[in-house]
Structure 1
Amino acid sequence: MNGFLKLLARNKKVAVGLAIVLTYIMIAVMAPLLTSHEPNKRVARPHQAPSAEHVMGTTRMGRDVYHLFMHGTKTSLAVGLGAGCMIVILGTALGVSAGYFGGKVDEIISLITNIALVIPQLPLLLVLAAFIGEASPLTIAIIIGCTSWAWGARVTRSQTLTLRNKEFIRASELACEPAWRIIFVEILPNLSSIIGLNFLGSIIYTIITEATLEFLGLGDPLAVSWGTMLYNAQNSSAMTVGAWWEVLVPCLAIAILGMGLALLNFGIDEIANPRLRTFSGMKKFNKRIKQLRQKQAIAGEPTPQAKTEVAYDG
């Protein structure tokens, strides 16, 4: 555990990504304390530029963009985390069941997974959201969670099939341990890195998809989220009238959070994958060797390569 924490501390991608994600979580948790009124309340003249009084400007309806951003962060993060948990739970449960039990169970789950993978996700989400009409953020999270688990199930199944033939699994089966204990004690801990990567990727996908659906007008216009901020900015022709701040704030919020989650994802992947860790170490080693050779060349000392060539000529 200490070694894993040291690797986390050394990895700059994890450090930066974790800092960004924790900042957004703090904003979401403390939004009621950091704002003075309801986000949909009219507090100023329409389309006021950012100023000391309204640091992020106002919308066409006279709403403070800062308050919309703070409360929208809470909604968008809640949707991302909720749908991410659903995707991970469904994908992990089905993938592990298919990989461990095999036989008919594997055939049925693989058939359902293949069908879910073939169906294009975004058009399906558009149809479902349009059928429901003005879907709330909770409804959007449930729709995304129930339709986006297939990729995680496929990856988890493949890794479970690899673990299924390991010696410690065979030993547990020979000791007549129940299947539930083998899955929860022996298999799932070895899938923790894959489950974590699937969870982070699902959050990114959910937040972007929710913003897309709401931007297209398929969400609840009264809900406060980054997607509805973009939808209202589009309806008010914010860019046309020069109210760039109304579009920039939610776009930057989504981009920066996506970057933080992606960095966290890549960093954890490097820590969990020894090959990537070795490749990173080799780059640092080669860089160090290059620096030493440059110092030797400046000092007039023969490099190891030159010494080898002289010895060979001799």
Structure 2
Amino acid sequence: MHVPESVTAYPQFSGTTSFPWFKALFDQNFFDSGVDIFFNFLLFYVPAGLLGWTVTARVKKGLSDTERQRLRSRFIGIVSLVGLILFCVVYFAKFRQPYVDYASVAALDGTNVIFPLIEYSYRDIDLMAVSQGPSLEHLLGTDREGRDVFTRLIYGTRISLTIGVVAVSIYTSIGLVLGSLAGFFGGRVDSIILRMIEIMMCFPVLFLILTLAGFIEEPSIFHIMLIIGLTGWTGIARLVRGEFLRLRNQDFVQAAIALGFTQARIIFRHVLPNAVQPVFVSATFGVAGAILIEATLSFLGVGPANAPSWGQILTSGRNTQQMTLILSSGFAIFLTISLLNLIGEGLRDATDPKLRK
């Protein structure tokens, strides 16, 4: 944005060329959700990580397979740790900038301003355009508060996918650890973990989630992620346990035990990498299930009220009987779940040739 020296309303822009979009990505006056800050942070960090991966890939050419794998693991660990630290710094710094009416700045003579393709924010309220139908100005219309439905649907994509991915990551981690311990040690450890799995499976998942959500006064996106993550680990644990029971008596495990490796190294570096293939397939289906659970919670009024998730848009459409809101969010949920299920079936066929048709 280039602003001439004649500007008096906003002297900080006088005679300068500025890019307020970069600052606005981390402005917590606007992005009050950590999910938004996280995705905006990835816009810069992922390209930097890919560049570093490209540079290290050239170094790997002169190394052995073991050294190459070790370098790859260290690089992923360092990049993940540095990314987590930088994100925490950005998020907890609580960066805020004063409000600027860029439309007024654009109206000044000689001022060049570039606006985004989508004019509206997901929470911009227009009381003069409440509950409107689709039009050229609002492609999918507006809700009862005058917010643009198309913009909220786009923002809801990353909210819903984040809920699915993070929730599945939580219960996959729990299931991997408990299933590995049960399958490797057997005996009393296996019995205790199996009783835990059976107790969790006795409760209907949806009613258990609704009960846990009832104890939260103001449910947020992170609460939904945590609740789904803490209640869905039983299937992963059973899969990993079965794979460990199959693998623990094979020759490479017995050789590792004979060499005196620690039990933690045998479990997590030798057996677990050979037991995670069915977990990937189950996790893919789990992301679709988590998105559907979030939509169900929002539809029942338990989910976050202000987050522009697909479930919240569907709930708003149910309350106002606006078919645009119902059909747009419902189609987004249906399409995403269908694609994730197809990906899961493809992974299952690829990892198990016996299932190929």
**Bin for the TM-score computed over the shorter chain:** 0.7 to 0.9
Corresponding residue to 2:201 among 114, 117, 125:
117
1:39 deviates by 1.0
1:237 deviates by 2.4
- Structure 1 residue 39 corresponds to structure 2 residue 122: yes
Contact 1:117 1:151 in 2 (8 A): no
Contact 1:87 1:202 in 2 (8 A): no
Question: Match of 1:211, SS?
Answer: helix
Change (3 A) 1:150 1:63: same
Structure-to-structure mapping, 1:65-84, within 5 angstroms: 65-84=149-168
Q: How many residues align?
A: 246
Contact 1:197 1:265 in 2 (8 A): yes
What is the distance in 2 between the residues matched to 1:162 and 1:34? 55
Question: Match of 1:53, SS?
Answer: coil
1:184 deviates by 2.2
What is the distance in 1 between the residues matched to 2:210 and 2:136? 40
What is the distance in 2 between the residues matched to 1:164 and 1:118? 29
Question: Match of 2:275, SS?
Answer: helix
1:73 deviates by 1.2
Q: Percent identity?
A: 36
What is the Cα-based RMSD across aligned positions, in Å? 2.0
Render the CA deviation track for 1:87-106: whole Å, top value 9, x for unaligned: 11001110011000112211
2:269 maps to a residue whose letter is V
What is the distance in 1 between the residues matched to 2:171 and 2:337? 18
Name 1:166's counterpart in structure 2.
250
Name 2:269's counterpart in structure 1.
185
Corresponding residue to 1:209 among 269, 288, 293:
293
Corresponding residue to 2:340 among 261, 277, 289:
261
Normalised TM-score (structure 2): 0.65
Normalised TM-score (structure 1): 0.74
Contact 2:240 2:276 in 1 (8 A): no
Corresponding residue to 1:227 among 302, 306, 311:
311
2:255 maps to a residue whose letter is A
Name 1:250's counterpart in structure 2.
329
Name 1:274's counterpart in structure 2.
353
What is the distance in 2 between the residues matched to 1:187 and 1:249? 45
- Structure 1 residue 59 corresponds to structure 2 residue 154: no
Render the CA deviation track for 1:36-70: whole Å, top value 9, x for unaligned: 33312223522322222211221122211111101
Question: Match of 1:217, SS?
Answer: coil
What is the distance in 2 between the residues matched to 1:93 and 1:34? 46
User: More relative contact order in 1 or in 2 (CA 8 Å, sep 6+)?
Assistant: 1
Contact 1:42 1:63 in 2 (8 A): yes
What is the distance in 1 between the residues matched to 2:117 and 2:181? 45
1:265 maps to a residue whose letter is G
1:78 deviates by 1.2
- Structure 1 residue 128 corresponds to structure 2 residue 128: no
Name 2:190's counterpart in structure 1.
106
- Name structure 2 gaps, 5 residues minimum: 1-38, 44-115
What is the distance in 1 between the residues matched to 2:135 and 2:181? 56
1:34 deviates by 5.9
- Structure 1 residue 148 corresponds to structure 2 residue 232: yes
Question: Match of 2:133, SS?
Answer: coil
1:46 maps to a residue whose letter is V
Q: Which has more helix, going by share of residues? A: 1
Contact 2:239 2:279 in 1 (8 A): no
Contact 1:88 1:198 in 2 (8 A): no
Render the CA deviation track for 1:92-140: whole Å, top value 9, x for unaligned: 1100110001122111111101111111100111111122134111101
